Amino acid sequence: MMTFDKHLKKMLKATLIGAAIAALAVPASAETTLRGASMFDGQHAFTKTLVKFGDLVTKYYHGDVKFDLRLNSELGVEKDYVTYLNQGIAIDYTILAPSNMARFAPSIPLMDMPFLFRDQAQWNRVLSSNVFAPLEKELYKKADILIVGYAGGGTRNIISNRKVSNLKELAGLKMRVMGAPIQAQVFSAIGAIPSAIAYNEVYNAIQTGVVSGLENEASSIQDLKFYEVAPYLAKTEHTITVRPIVFSGKTFRKLPPKLQAAIMKAGKEAGEYGRKLETHEDAVKLKQMADAGELKVSEFTDRDKLLEMVKPVQDKYAASIGATALLEAIRSK
């Protein structure tokens, strides 16, 4: 069976002749503009990572390429970005939560499944390896979206409008979760009542009592001021985020081979940069909000029990998508 890396190399080689022919019809001075999008401002780790990605592509590609990165949800939210990338319109690259790509590639949310990683060290070993290659191949085949690197690193906790520090207090908590079914299944298993609500509607949903909380990492809690409506944080530490840097396949195949190679190299390095950045900033921002009295932080006393409660759900989900071996490979890292 051809590996994803070999598949990609074959694809790059196949475009060489076409690109060379196209170059004859395009002036040598023609500039390529690549369009990106971030839901956040210039200080967010995702935005900084995407800027780094553009800088690295420019460094490695000896040609004319320009990056047009739009911030603050100017071009919509992540679900919109997935559609744009799939259709090859509006944007060419961004950072996405795996759950938002589930409608095209149902197996992708496994890489961001709650309680998947024991700790930061295991998480980083997985993202520095090729363990996720089968998921990358599925995404490219079914969604025409190419993963070029892995950012992330925020630790997700539960925040709510009332204190939740143990299983008893968690029971019956109405909370917003991301749209992939595995997210709802995991939080149902630990006693919460999950609800998939659009990200840009969460603040109002808490404010109006539709839900009582959500789960998120510190940077997004701070950036979107979720602490105003959900000031209690329980350190469930259920997810260390995996946030792929993604590129539209339709755009990628039109680019010169040397630019394609620069994008792949830059994506890997930008992902490493982004992981270090967000891991550091996550701890800093959580402390800032706690010190300012914006969040009341408490340990979750039954966290070990949570890990045991969700394992059967993880196993069943992996089996349902034919990914038992992949799940075991992740656990063994």
Rounded Cα distance, 280 and 278, in Å: 5
Please state the rounded mean pLDDT for residues 122-139: 95
Rounded Cα distance, 239 and 111, in Å: 10
What distances in angstroms separate CA 137 from CA 30, 132, 140, 143, 174, one per listed residue?
32, 9, 5, 10, 35
**Domain encompassing residue 86:** 4-331
pTM of the model as a whole: 0.82
Rounded Cα distance, 90 and 100, in Å: 17
How many percent of the chain have pLDDT more than 70?
A: 91
The confidence band for 308, taking pLDDT boundaries of 50, 70 and 90, is very high
Please state the rounded mean pLDDT for residues 10-39: 60
The pLDDT value given to residue 224: 92
* Number of domains the chain is built from: 1
Helical spans, DSSP H, in the chain: 4-25, 45-60, 78-87, 120-127, 133-143, 167-170, 181-189, 202-207, 218-223, 249-252, 257-291, 303-320, 324-331
Q: What is the per-residue pLDDT across 211-239, written as a single tens digit (0 to 9) for each? A: 999 999 998 899 899 999 999 999 999 99
The pLDDT value given to residue 5: 55
pLDDT beyond 90 at 209: yes
CATH code of the domain covering residue 172: 3.40.190.170
Alpha carbon distance, N-terminus to C-terminus of the chain: 23
The confidence band for 250, taking pLDDT boundaries of 50, 70 and 90, is very high
